[in-house]
């Protein structure tokens, strides 16, 4: 059944639609640098690096910017660390914020302020993350026979397949994301986007009167320079 993309709702990063290209490139560069720093024998970091570079290419990020970000990760320049924050937004929605920062205390205070100004509150580790599962996500262009296409994807061993307006959404285990993308492309499917996400186990419906307030709150988090991704269980 075709419907609206839950991914577009739970993953609030503006991505290619971000009007501030400089801000987008800066966030992509940070994602690349920190993945390089924590790479080596770390399969999670290596997967994050691959996904970040793919997103940089999709966003038409200049090659020299990508190379500079990789060099920064290898070198001893800006010391970036990955941090995540959990909390509740207006209406009790659950929120996970993933960030990369060179000043953990500053970023924590600024994120706390954004939560409070938005009518929510920052909570401790584990307060909401137990209601989310880490997943690999793919958005695939629809083919003429969508039903056959989706059955073919299921036969490839993915966890969940849903037709939405934007294409076909697919979820898989994080460590199978690259493998699944390769299988899809070999099968002739056009993969429009891949991402590592935190998928909510259940959604909270946002009332019509609260939509604007919730969206403004989530966009304020997404607009912070250090924030890489924002996930929520809000359902609009």
Please say if the pLDDT value at position 118 is more than 50. yes
Q: Are 192 and 211 part of one and the same domain?
A: no
pLDDT-derived band at 172, boundaries 50, 70, 90: very high
Please say if the pLDDT value at position 129 is more than 50. yes
Measured at the CA of 217, the angle between CA 213 and CA 222, to 5 degrees, comes to: 145
Give the mean pLDDT of the chain: 88
Task: Give, for 113, the enclosing helix (H) or strand (E).
Answer: helix 104-117
Q: Specify the pLDDT at position 12.
A: 47
Q: Specify the pLDDT at position 125.
A: 94
Residue whose structure tokens are 């299921």: 154
Domain-embedded: residue 25: yes
Q: Are 125 and 219 part of one and the same domain?
A: yes
pLDDT-derived band at 86, boundaries 50, 70, 90: very high
In the numeric block, which tokens belong to residue 39?
A: 């790479």
Domain-embedded: residue 136: yes
Q: Are 28 and 113 part of one and the same domain?
A: no
d(CA 144, CA 22): 37
Range of the domain at 189: 132-200
d(CA 113, CA 118): 8
Domain-embedded: residue 1: no
Q: Specify the pLDDT at position 2.
A: 40
Greater model confidence, 73 or 191: 191
């Amino acid at each position: 059944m075709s419907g609206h993309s839950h991914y577009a709702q739970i993953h609030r990063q503006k991505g290619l639609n971000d009007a501030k290209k400089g801000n987008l490139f800066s966030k992509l560069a940070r994602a690349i640098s920190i993945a390089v720093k924590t790479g080596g024998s770390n399969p999670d970091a290596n997967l994050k690096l691959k996904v970040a570079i793919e997103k940089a290419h999709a966003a038409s990020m200049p090659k020299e910017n990508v190379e500079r970000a990789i060099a920064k990760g290898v070198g001893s320049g800006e010391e970036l660390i990955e941090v995540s924050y959990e909390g509740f937004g207006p209406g009790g929605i659950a929120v996970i914020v993933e960030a990369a920062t060179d000043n953990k205390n500053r970023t924590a205070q600024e994120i706390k302020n954004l939560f409070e100004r938005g009518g929510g509150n920052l909570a401790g580790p584990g307060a909401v993350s137990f209601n989310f599962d880490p997943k690999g996500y793919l958005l695939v262009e629809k083919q003429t026979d969508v039903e056959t296409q989706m059955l073919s994807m299921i036969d490839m061993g993915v966890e969940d397949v849903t037709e939405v307006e934007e294409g076909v959404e697919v979820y898989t285990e994080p460590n199978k994301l690259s493998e699944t993308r390769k299988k899809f492309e070999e099968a002739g499917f056009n993969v429009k986007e891949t991402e590592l996400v935190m998928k909510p186990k259940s959604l909270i419906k946002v009332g019509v009167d609260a939509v604007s307030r919730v969206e403004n709150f989530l966009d304020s988090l997404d607009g912070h320079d250090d924030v890489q991704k924002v996930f929520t269980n809000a359902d609009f």
